[in-house]
Amino acid sequence: MPREIGFLGMLVPGLLPILLACAVLFVGLDLTLSRTGLYRHVWHPSLFRASLFLALFSAAGLTLGR
């Protein structure tokens, strides 16, 4: 994957498409987990959400960013 991608005359980081895809995936996963009631069993839901997004983005970035 290139380090920068040309987009409308600007150079954006190569991880930006991965970040956007992970954000969409996270929103869907968050809605699913909310509806199933998982967050009632989690000690700190905001911290869990942040760490879930970080884990998704890190895994995708390490896998696809090579």
Strands 10-13, 4-7: pairing kind: antiparallel
Answer yes or no: is pLDDT of 38 > 70: yes
pLDDT-based confidence at 1, cuts 50/70/90?
low
Q: Identity (one letter) of the amino acid at 15?
A: L
Q: How many other CB atoms are found less than 10 A from the CB of residue 18?
A: 19
Q: What is the pLDDT of residue 22?
A: 96
Domain locations along the chain:
37-66
Q: How many other CB atoms are found less than 10 A from the CB of residue 61?
A: 16
Q: Is the pTM of this model over 0.85?
A: no
Write the pLDDT tens digit of every residue in 6-29.
888 888 888 888 999 999 999 999
